[in-house]
């Protein structure tokens, strides 16, 4: 189910602003890849190019190639809607649909995919909520609004919603930044479980988190204000955190940055 | 969530936090503001009470002389001796024409708002939105003239067609579909209330949080699916509020309706046929020649219109409030 992503020569722009420059990397399937780097270096922007969410911002555009198991996501015949059904996304701030129940939130993507049978929906909703470690907390109130959950529960609800459609890839943009340490650990455990089935990419500002959950780490940086962000290096997490090849990486990781 | 529209904001502002403001820190600015706010609040209430008292005081003598049942009679002869008048046909014309106008205008208005907010390229959306807003600024007399001179002659064919195709529906039945009918009036009303419904809906759509839109898109929703998942649920109470404001405007509209309709006494369920009148149109048409009692009767009918509008407003607010709780 999980797929490999190969990015080559990727640039992203916001109108006239060149946000990221010439990024090439391979993201391995069934593993967790962490993106780290200073604020504004383009981690979110790059992440959003991987499921064609970048272009929903007015004036934003992308150049370059993103291959998902040899299929170019930016090919001329590719429908961005189809891409997003295969590459799921979890945002920094939990964003369940506020008017929908917990159940309907998880079922939303399934219904888009044409799943209508109640029994099948029930099964997948349960399975997804279990997958997101939320089932026990919500099984008695599936019909209550999703907005009534705590922040950490809402974020796990969003993860359940994303995995319910069984994507090939799961992108997470600082999924724990709005959460307390307990919820953070719950989500990190969840990521560890999910990686056996999905290709996972996670953006994080938390070095320990990157070290704990990821197999590979990519470090991004900007040369200066107004310059586009670049990929400095990518490698095994253990190697990036102990013997990085680039000086900038070492400085960032050891906190001697800037 | 702030999907408040005019319907709900006015009362919240008037009755809401005036007293809390007085529990300030006691600084001079706070005190001045608190008394100014309280003063304006009281002034509004006093004005409303004064108007109500005046109207009721004018209406009572006429109602006492009335020989017909005021609420149920179809007659309107307040200038006769003895005066006989009732509001049944006025209420019928008002409610039917406004509801019909609402039914025609709301889907179109929301469609326009969705198109401007989510489909049109930016170069089209701006001017189009401006144009729709401009429609709201056209004086009703212009709509009246247009309805009478341009629309009504063309409605004859439409009415005839509806009558032959849908004549089995009682409202569209009858033998002589015409052009100065309640149906024509409601088409004019629909056009008049379109801009207000559309621009309020657009305001609401603009407030839909980016996070909800992106949540839907990231799940692989098409644009229309995104609208169903994120935009419409968020905007629902606002759209209801917008429709109710439009309904209120349609019920109170005077001159355009008065110009389009030809007066034929009595309730006619066949709305494609000429005839029908509304509260406001009736007041405009007969106030000038009315006797003392006639004026009292018209004022009484105006009070009924006021009550109906109030009920619509409260119903709208109840709907909006209940929907919010659900959310
Ligand atoms: N919607 C936007 N319109 C214009 N420029 C944007 C937009 N979003 C981001 N940018 C710019 O693109 C650059 C990269 O931003 P991005 O959000 O990708 O950084 P980031 O690495 O995710 O930062 P953070 O760690 O703070 O989340 C920044 O210079 C930012 O100002
Ligand atoms: Mg970011």
Q: Name the token pair of A179.
A: 């959460």
Q: Higher confidence at residue B25 or residue A78?
A: A78
Residue bearing the CA closest to ligand 1, atom 14: A42
- What's the rounded Cα separation, in Å, for the pair A100 and A97? 6
A172 is a domain residue: yes
How confident is residue B213, by pLDDT bands cut at 50, 70 and 90? Answer: very high
Interface test with B, best of A15, A44, A98 (most B CBs within 10 A): A98
What spacing in Å lies between the alpha carbon of A33 and ligand 1's midpoint? 20
Tell whether omega for the bond before A42 is within 30 degrees of 0, i.e. cis.
no
How confident is residue A54, by pLDDT bands cut at 50, 70 and 90? Answer: very high
Q: Which residues in A lie closer than 8 A to residue B229 (C-beta atoms)?
A: 97, 108
Q: Across residues A51-70, what is the average pLDDT?
A: 93
Q: Higher confidence at residue A69 or residue B3?
A: A69
Q: Name the token pair of A204.
A: 């994080």
A96 with B215: Cβ contact below 8 A: yes
What spacing in Å lies between the alpha carbon of A202 and ligand 1's midpoint? 16
A89 with B218: Cβ contact below 8 A: yes
Q: Which residues in A lie closer than 8 A to residue B236 (C-beta atoms)?
A: 99
Q: Is the pLDDT of residue B5 over 50?
A: no
Residue bearing the CA closest to ligand 1, atom 6: A14
The closest CB to that of A165, out of B213, B217, B219, belongs to: B219
Phi-psi bin for A52: left (phi > 0), alpha (psi -120 to 50), beta?
left
Range of weakest confidence among A27-36, A63-72, B26-35, B134-143: B26-35
Q: What is the pLDDT of residue B29?
A: 87
Q: What is the pLDDT of residue A135?
A: 93
Nearest Cα residue in chain B from A48: B218
Q: Across residues B165-173, what is the average pLDDT?
A: 84
Q: Across residues B163-173, what is the average pLDDT?
A: 85
Angstroms from A88 CA to nearest CA on chain B: 6
Instruction: Say how many domains are in chain A.
Output: 1
Percentage of residues in chain A with pLDDT exceeding 90? 79
Residue bearing the CA closest to ligand 1, atom 12: A19
Identify the DSSP state of B261.
Answer: P
ipTM: 0.91
The closest CB to that of A109, out of B1, B220, B222, belongs to: B220
Domains of chain B, first to last: 66-326 (1.10.3720.10)
Mean of the per-residue pLDDT values of chain A: 92
* A31, A224, A235, B94 from A245: Cα distances, Å: 22, 21, 9, 80
Q: What is the pLDDT of residue A4?
A: 92
Mean of the per-residue pLDDT values of chain B: 86
What CATH number did the domain enclosing A182 receive? Answer: 3.40.50.300
3-class DSSP state of A148: helix
| Structural domain span for residue A36 | 5-253
What spacing in Å lies between the alpha carbon of A45 and ligand 1's midpoint? 6
Q: What is the pLDDT of residue B271?
A: 86
- What's the rounded Cα separation, in Å, for the pair A79 and A84? 9
Percentage of residues in chain A with pLDDT exceeding 70? 98
B212 with A113: Cβ contact below 8 A: no
Its pTM stands at 0.82
A56 with B214: Cβ contact below 8 A: yes
3-class DSSP state of A236: strand
Name the phi and psi angles at A114, rounded to 5: 85, 10
* Sheet-wide strand order for A216-222: A71-72, A60-68, A5-14, A17-27, A229-236, A216-222, A32-36, A199-203, A169-173, A87-90
What spacing in Å lies between the alpha carbon of A44 and ligand 2's midpoint? 4
Q: Is the pLDDT of residue B10 over 70?
A: no
Query: What is the pairing mode between strands B76-77 and A17-27?
Result: unpaired
Write out the E strands in chain A.
5-14, 17-27, 32-36, 60-68, 71-72, 87-90, 169-173, 199-203, 216-222, 229-236
Q: Which residues line ligand 1 (CB under 6 A)?
A: A 14, 17, 19, 37, 39-45, 57, 229
B236 with A99: Cβ contact below 8 A: yes
- What's the rounded Cα separation, in Å, for the pair A100 and A96? 8
A98 with B220: Cβ contact below 8 A: no
Identify the DSSP state of B269.
Answer: S
Q: Across residues B312-326, what is the average pLDDT?
A: 73
The closest CB to that of B234, out of A51, A53, A99, belongs to: A99
C-alpha B265 chain-centroid distance: 24
A258 is a domain residue: no
Q: Name the token pair of A126.
A: 């349960």
- What's the rounded Cα separation, in Å, for the pair A171 and A48? 8
A232 is a domain residue: yes
CB B67 within 8 A of CB B83: yes
pLDDT in tens, A91-145: 999 999 998 999 999 999 999 988 889 999 999 999 999 988 899 999 999 999 9
């Amino acid at each position: 189910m999980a797929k490999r992503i190969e990015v080559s020569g990727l640039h992203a722009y916001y109108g006239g602003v060149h946000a990221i420059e010439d990024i090439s990397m391979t993201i391995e399937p069934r593993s967790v890849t962490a993106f780290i780097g200073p604020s504004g270096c383009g981690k979110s922007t790059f992440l959003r190019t991987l499921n064609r969410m970048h272009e929903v911002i007015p004036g934003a555009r992308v150049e370059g190639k993103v291959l998902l198991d040899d299929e170019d996501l930016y090919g001329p015949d590719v429908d961005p809607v189809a891409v997003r059904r295969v590459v799921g996304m979890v945002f920094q701030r939990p964003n369940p649909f506020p008017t929908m129940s917990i159940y309907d939130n998880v079922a939303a993507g399934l219904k888009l995919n044409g799943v209508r049978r109640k029994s099948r929906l029930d099964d997948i909703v349960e399975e997804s909520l279990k997958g997101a470690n939320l089932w026990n907390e919500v099984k008695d109130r599936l019909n209550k609004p999703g907005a009534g959950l705590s922040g950490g529960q809402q974020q796990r609800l969003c993860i359940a919603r994303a995995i319910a459609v069984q994507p090939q890839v799961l992108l997470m943009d600082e999924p724990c930044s709005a959460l307390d340490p307990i919820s953070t650990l719950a989500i990190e455990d969840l990521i560890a479980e999910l990686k056996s089935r999905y290709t996972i990419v996670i953006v994080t500002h938390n070095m320990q988190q990157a070290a704990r959950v990821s197999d590979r780490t990519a470090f991004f940086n900007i040369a200066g204000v107004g310059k586009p962000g670049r990929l400095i290096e990518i490698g095994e997490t253990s190697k990036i955190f102990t013997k990085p090849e680039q000086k900038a990486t070492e400085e960032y990781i050891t906190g001697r940055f800037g | 969530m702030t999907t408040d529209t005019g319907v709900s904001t006015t009362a919240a502002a008037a009755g809401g936090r005036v007293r809390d403001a007085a529990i300030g820190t006691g600084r001079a600015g706070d005190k001045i503001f608190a008394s100014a706010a309280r003063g304006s609040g009281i002034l509004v209430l006093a004005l409303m009470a004064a108007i109500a008292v005046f109207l009721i005081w004018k209406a009572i003598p006429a109602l006492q002389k009335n020989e017909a049942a005021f609420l149920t009679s179809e007659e309107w002869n307040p200038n006769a001796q003895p005066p006989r008048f009732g509001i049944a046909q006025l209420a019928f014309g008002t409610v039917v024409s406004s509801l019909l106008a609402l039914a025609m205008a709301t889907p179109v208005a929301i469609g326009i708002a969705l198109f401007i907010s989510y489909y049109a390229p930016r170069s089209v959306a701006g001017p189009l939105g401006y144009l729709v807003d401009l429609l709201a600024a056209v004086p009703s007399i212009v709509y009246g003239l247009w309805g009478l001179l341009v629309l009504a002659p063309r409605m004859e064919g439409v009415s005839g067609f509806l009558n032959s195709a849908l004549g089995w529906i009682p409202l569209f039945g009858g033998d002589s579909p015409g052009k100065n009918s309640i149906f024509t009036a409601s088409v004019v009303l629909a056009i008049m209330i379109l801009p207000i419904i559309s621009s309020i809906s657009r305001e609401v759509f603009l407030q839909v949080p980016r996070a909800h839109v992106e949540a839907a898109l990231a799940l692989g929703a098409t644009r229309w699916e995104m609208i169903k998942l994120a935009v419409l649920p968020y905007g629902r109470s606002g759209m209801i509020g917008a429709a109710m404001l439009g309904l209120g405007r349609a019920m109170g509209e005077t001159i355009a309706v008065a110009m389009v309709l030809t007066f034929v006494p009595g309730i006619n369920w066949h709305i494609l046929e000429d005839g029908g009148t509304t509260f406001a149109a009736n007041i405009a048409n007969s106030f000038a020649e009315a006797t003392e009692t006639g004026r009292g009767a018209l004022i009484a009918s105006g009070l009924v219109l006021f009550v109906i509008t109030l009920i619509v407003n409260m119903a709208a607010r109840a709907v909006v409030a209940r929907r919010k709780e659900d959310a």
